Every structure is written in C-alpha cells, then in structure tokens.
A and B are shown apart, each in its own frame.
Chain A
Amino acid sequence: MSHDQQHHHSGATHHEEHHITPLSTYLKVAAALFALTFLTIIAHIFKTHYLAVAPLIAFTIAAIKAFLVMAWFMHLKYEPQTNRLIFACGFLGLAVLFGVCAMDIFTRIYQGSVL
C-alpha cells in the first residue's frame, strides 16, 4: 500500500492519512520473531556439526529478525523516505567506524608491543 504523500493543509482529514497496520500483521510478525528465536536455539544446539558457519547462521537469523522489527514494529515500511534515510545513516556511520577500526588494528606491524 502506498503512503499518501499529499498533505491537506485545510486540516480537515488528517486522521485518515496515517497508515494503520492491521492486527493480524502484528501477530504474524511476532509469530515469525518467536519462530526465528527457536530456530536460533535449534541451530545453536546442533552447532558442533558446522562450527565454522555457526556465527554466520546466528547473525543471519538475527538480521532477518531485525528487518521484521524495523519494517513492521518500527513502521519503517510506512515512514517517509527522509526518516528511512536518517536511520540508514546510523548504520552507514557504524560501517565506517568498523571499517576504519578493522583496517587500523589488523594492518599494524608487530613491534614488540606488550599491549
């Protein structure tokens, strides 16, 4: 459903502009989040079979859960483009922080430091 971008400055029909997520959608999202949490634990219990990719599996499931929370619970799906861009900037900043720190730490040449 597309968000109504037109604003009526007459002030007559404001309450009809905001998106209302149906109750069934909230319940489905919550059910998916519970199911994915159980999946995380099942994957954790059997992780001795695939130790190398266990963190990847755990964080992939976490990323899917994060997407569900952001899109429906935080209503990012129906937010104005500006707000989505603002929030994305946070993750962009985080990626820069991680990238620069990782490049610094892991390209250092060992010079007998005791740290």
Chain B
Amino acid sequence: MSTSRLINGVEVASHYRDAEHQYLSNKEGIWLFMVTEILMFGGLFVGYIIFHTIYPEMFAEGASYLDWHLGFINTLVLIGSSLTMALGFYYNQIAQPKKATYALIATVLCGAVFMVIKYFEYMHKFHLGIFPGMMLDAAKMAEHGHPVVHSNLGLYFGFYFCMSGLHGLHVLIGMGLISWLTYRNIRGDFNPKYYTPIEGVGIFWHIVDLIWIFLFPLLYLVG
C-alpha cells in the first residue's frame, strides 16, 4: 500500500523529507483550502452587499422576519465550540488525550445545538410560507398575517437561505470530521509529536465560526 516510514514515532509518507516537512506541507494545503472557503462565502457576501444597497427597504422587510435572539444564542454556542476545539488541540499538544477527547465531544455537541436552533428557525419560516427566491409563497404569508410588501422579497430570502444553509452545511461537515477525530483520538492516534489532523480540522472549524461572526450582524442586525 503506502510507502510511508516511521521517523521518530511519526508515520511519514515517502515523498516527505521528515515529519516537519510533512507537517508544514499539510498545513499549507489547509490554508489553501481556507482561501477557497473565503472566496466561496465572499461571493455571497459581495452579492448581498450589492443587492442590499440597491433594495434597502426590501432587505429591511426580509430581516424583520429574523429573530436576533436565536442568532445571538447561536453565536455564543459557536464561540464556545471554537474554544473547545482549540482545547482539543491543546490537550493533545501537552499529552492529555483524554481531556482532548472530552473537548472534541463537547465541540460536536455544540455543533448539534447550533443545528437544532437552525432547524427551528427554518421550520418556522417554512410554516409562514417563507422560501428562497421564486418559491416564496406570498399567499401563505398573507394567510399568516404577514402580507408581502416588496414583491421581490424572495431575493432576500434567496440570500438568507443560501448563506445560512451553506454555513449550516459546513457545521454538519465539521461535526462529521470532529467525530472522526474523536474516534481516532480514543484509538490513540494523536500525541504531542503528531496532531496534524486535529489542527487542520480545527482551522476549518474556526473558519466556520469566523464566517458566522460576519453572517450574524449581516443577516440579523443590519438587515
């Protein structure tokens, strides 16, 4: 299979000089991936800002359907999960894998809390007939006592569902990756000499938090 060899207790693939070379190359790859994340979400942010400038009243109408209390709780949950993720990394660096496992499990649970809150937010909107773009059900909204003022309100919710949905997808993928890390950590794969996957997934999880830090004021507060 692979032609890796053991150097100083660390599995090093054949195309790397040593463990440090492998570590630095892997991390550079993670940062390149982070650039694509910034550009992907950045495109949506740019679109949102431009259309917000063109239709400020319509965006204000859309934002009035969002409850900042839920966004606020979710912000606190994500910051907490970022801390536990950092601790999962830290405890492996100082050779306390058991504490690291608890920290990683706490991170997955925080992600789950975030998704549950998101689920209730989405379900409430679907109940009112709020869907993205052309799927927005104006008749159903009027039925629930929320007549549509701006006919192109669906555009706002197109942005809302795409941005928060793509972010939610990242939270789900992050939860999956951290569960995998937890399994590997319990198996004893990580130690102070080797923790690259935890650091890589950690950086991914922190960027999910970073994006939410901007999404929260953009969607819930500024509107």
* A40-96 CB contacts (< 8 Å) to partner B: 40-41, 44, 54-55, 58-59, 61-62, 65-66, 69-70, 72-75, 79-80, 82-83, 86-87, 89-91, 93-94
Residue B19 lies at the interface, judged by CB distance under 8 Å to chain A: yes
Residue A1 lies at the interface, judged by CB distance under 8 Å to chain B: no
A24: shortest Cβ distance to chain B, in Å? 11
Q: What is the 8 Å Cβ interface bit string for chain A, positions 6-22, against chain B (1 contact, 0 not)? A: 01010110110110110
Alpha-carbon separation in the docked complex, A34 to B77 (Å): 10
Alpha-carbon separation in the docked complex, A58 to B217 (Å): 6
Q: A20-B93, A73-B82, A82-B28 are in contact. Are A94 and B46 (CB under 8 A)?
A: yes
Contact status A7-B20, CB under 8 Å? yes
Contact status B24-A55, CB under 8 Å? no
Alpha-carbon separation in the docked complex, A66 to B54 (Å): 27
Contact status B79-A33, CB under 8 Å? yes
A108: shortest Cβ distance to chain B, in Å? 11
Contact status B213-A98, CB under 8 Å? no
Alpha-carbon separation in the docked complex, A74 to B53 (Å): 33
Contact status A14-B76, CB under 8 Å? no
Nearest residue (CB) in B for A98 is: B46
Chain A hits for B37, CB < 8 A: 90
- In the A-B complex, the 6 residue pairs with the smallest Cβ-Cβ separation, listed nearest first, are A90-B38, A90-B35, A94-B42, A58-B217, A30-B83, A83-B31
B→A interface (CB under 8 Å):
7-8, 10, 17-20, 24, 27-28, 31-32, 34-39, 42-43, 45-46, 49-50, 53-54, 68, 72, 75-76, 79-80, 82-83, 85-87, 90, 93-94, 192-193, 199, 202-203, 206-207, 209-210, 213-214, 216-217, 221-222
Q: Supply 4 further A-B pairs (C-beta < 8 A) apart from A26-B87, A83-B28, A86-B32.
A: A33-B79, A62-B217, A69-B210, A90-B35
